[in-house]
Amino acid sequence: MAKKGVKTMSSDIVNRALVESFVKLDPRAMLKNPVMFIVEIGFVITLLITLDPNLFGGHFGSNQRIFNFIVCIILFITVLFGNFAEAIAEGRGKAQAESLRKTKTDLMANRKEPDGTYELVPATTLRKGDTVRVQAGEMIPADGEVLHGLGSVDESAITGESAPVIRGAGGDFSSVTGGTKLLSDELIIRVTVDPGESFLDKMIGLVEGASRQKTPNELALSVLLAGLTIIFLIVVVTLEPMAHYLGHSIDVATLIALLVCLIPTTIGALLSAIGIAGMDRVIRFNIIAKSGKAVEAAGDVNTLILDKTGTITIGNRLASEFTPVGSHTEKELVEVAVLSSLFDETPEGRSVVDLGKEKGIQIAHERYTDAENVEFTADTRMSGLNLADGTIVRKGAVDAIKRFVQEQRGVIPADLDAKTERIAKEGGTPLAVVKGNEVYGLIYLKDIVKPGMRERFEELRRMGIKTVMCTGDNPLTAATIALEAGVDDFIAEAKPEDKMRLIKDEQAQGKLVAMSGDGTNDAPALAQADVGLAMNTGTTAAKEAGNMVDLDSDPTKLIEVVSIGKQLLITRGAITTFSIANDVAKYFAIIPAIFAAVVPQLHVLNIMFLTSPHSAILSALIFNAIIIPLLIPLAMKGVKYKPMSATSMLVRNILLYGVGGVIVPFVGIKIIDLIITALGLANI
């Protein structure tokens, strides 16, 4: 869910944008936008001929000077409105950066010294690899990973989410961010960044950066707009000799007004604002996009790769049942299962120990301080202990445990597969437990599909997006969850290289791929994907590899990112359609006004019955200027997106913004003409 963010039109943002609108008049800045640069040149020329009507060989009276001055003012306002649109979009990012800066205070840290003592030092002196101790009520001084402890952390300064989160050693929630506050207990943290490289520093740089790179589609549209501008410039330049041949003269101000109305000034003025606003919408979902290209790519995604645990399902799989196999009893299984999970700090490991307590089995940690803890890895897919007497205790995926037992020359119980299949068919995850080379039984881990996931996947299907679920579960469990969730495909017993292979296969077919991840082993796939959404609680490697970071660490946001990306593309397309359609009405206003005197037949085109040639030109020019600020809210908020096929979306936009883009200016120009006539300016 989107967080409450910076208001689009707060007084501070508007005031700053007004100042920036004048600063951006610098021709060096305007050159980046060829369409608006031409308008600025037109303003300068009309200003010069207002001051000296004879500058270009003209011999005009006082009325013409007034007309030139009015055109000059309208063009100046048009340029300011274009700059204002971009400044408003940039202002939101700068306001967001300022709010983030407030969290950067002069923090102190309890750093562990070589002799084992802790010394209070400024947080700015911390370096990557340092160990710090944070107690309840203290601010976490730097980005890091929890080595020991479990505590409640207030991350509202970073994420905007008021509810505290749990951070602890082990598992997927060991990452902490500098500037957040520890509310309870005590954490020992290893610093993972050097000064100036913290996540907060990077966030500020990303949301503040006005020097963003244009996206590929934006660059392509910019080239198109520049091309149209050049074409219409050539057309307008050739009109004067043509009119002279017909015995008619067109004044410079009229030619400039015609050029400004011909070129697509509306989309030219709003193009940059649309791109910046697209990134801002992502930020309001508590996602930091490292580039506009990532947001735009999300709108074109064809394949979505999602982890099962925590994304499609609730996430914290909990032990709910012990199922012994072979000749072993439930009590024997529980003892070995609890022993294998004794030092496992993951939610799954703790749930095994808790369920063991309910069964009457409780083992003290102190009895096994000399045991070696073996953590879970994606390759072994097992975890457990190596006891001091050489005994090996493991729990893990059934196929991995079976291979382990066979390597140890043990015997696989005859009923293991049947009981594994039963758990898998029920949608649970079976973990096998082994001691030495004997399989004692299975731990039944329950995982529940999140409410509404089937409906969301159906939406994606209507958008033409294929969903693939990746899980380390066995094929039966994966198939059950995939069917219940409604995904299009799944990969069971997936390893990191399987995700990478899937991404490359999809990309080889010309598809764009998005995926989410949080672990170091996800980093290669996140870097390979066109859209890589890394979790804020994930490892530093994952956050560096992805081109987006989710501050809330909610993998389902990948679906929201796709919707935002599509909204960005639709908004740009809709306003482009509206802008070009606008030009049709302006042609009917200006062309008859210029040539009706020499070609009376062109009066037929004056279907708006505009009062006079000057009134028609001014009305079209004024409408051309005021439509820009009127469309700023749409550019900032974005066109409302509804899941539908590309054809349906195209038809909808053509009818709404194409036909609407023709009708609105006809009405608007006529109203402005009536006002100009009432003011007595129609015949200046």
307 is catalytic: yes
pLDDT value, residue 62: 60
Q: What is the pLDDT at residue 210?
A: 41
Decide if 603 contacts 243 (C-beta within 8 A): no
pLDDT of residue 355: 93
Q: Which residues are annotated as a binding site?
A: 344, 348, 376-383, 395, 518, 522
Chain centroid, CA 650 distance in Å: 24
Residues at the annotated binding site for Mg(2+)?
Answer: 518, 522
Residues in the chain, how many? Answer: 684
Closest CA to 617 of 228, 249, 262, 269: 262
Lookup: tokens for 674: 């009536």
User: Do residues 71 and 53 touch, judged by C-beta distance below 8 A?
Assistant: no
Q: How far apart are CA 653 and CA 636, in angstroms?
A: 18
- Name, in order, each residue with C-beta under 8 angstroms of 459's C-beta and a sequence gap of 6 or more: 643
The conformation of residue 600, written as its DSSP 8-state character, comes to G
Task: Indicate which residue of 154, 251, 307, 473 is catalytic.
Answer: 307
Helix axes 216-245, 292-299, angle to 10 degrees: 90
Q: Which amino acid is at 402?
A: K
Give the pLDDT confidence score for residue 327 in this predicted structure: 92
pLDDT of res. 211: 44
For residue 152, what are the β-bridge partners?
Answer: 166
In angstroms, how far is CA 217 from the centroid of its own chain? 16
Residue 594 · residue 254 · CB < 8 Å = yes
pLDDT digits (tens, 9 = 90+) for 73-89: 999 999 999 899 888 87
Contact 337, 352 (CB under 8 A): yes
- Report the distance separating Cα 163 and Cα 361, nearest Å: 35
For residues 112 and 130, the answer to whether their CB atoms sit within 8 Å is: yes
Segments in the chain below pLDDT 70:
1-10, 56-62, 92-106, 157-163, 170-173, 199-200, 202-215, 246, 310, 315-316, 537-540, 555, 595-602, 645-646, 682, 684
CB–CB of 209/217 below 8 Å?
A: no
Q: Which helix (H) or strand (E) holds 420?
A: helix 416-425
Q: How far apart are the first and last CA of the chain?
A: 56
Stated pTM of the model: 0.65
What is the 3-state secondary structure of 5-22? CCCCCCHHHHHHHHHHHH
Pick from 452, 448, 497: which is nearest to 470 by CA? 497
User: What pLDDT, on the 0 to 100 scale, is given for residue 63?
Assistant: 74
Q: Give me the residue label for tokens 């007309």.
A: 67
**Residue 637 vs residues 278, 283, 633: alpha-carbon distances, Å:** 9, 13, 6
- Shortest CA distance to 277 belongs to which of 267, 258, 287, 292? 292
Locate tokens 């082994």: which residue? 434
> 570-625, pLDDT tens digit by residue?
888 889 889 888 887 787 777 777 766 566 666 777 777 878 888 888 888 999 99
Dig out the tokens for 568 from the structure.
């960005």
d(CA 395, CA 392) in angstroms, rounded, equals: 10
The burial class, CB within 10 Å (0-12 / 13-18 / 19+), for 510 is exposed
Predicted pLDDT of residue 102: 61
| CA–CA gap between residue 651 and residue 644 (Å, rounded) | 11
pLDDT tens sequence across 222-269? 888 888 888 888 888 887 787 777 677 778 888 898 889 888 888 888
Binding site listing for ATP: 344, 348, 376-383, 395
**Phi, psi values for residue 588, rounded to 5°:** -65, -20
8 Å CB contact between 159 and 117: no
Q: What are the angstrom distances between the C-alpha of 219 and each of 83, 263, 574, 628?
A: 18, 17, 17, 21
User: What are the two backbone dihedrals, phi and then psi, of residue 230, each rounded to the nearest 5 degrees?
Assistant: -65, -45
Burial of 117 (0-12, 13-18, 19+ CB in 10 A): exposed
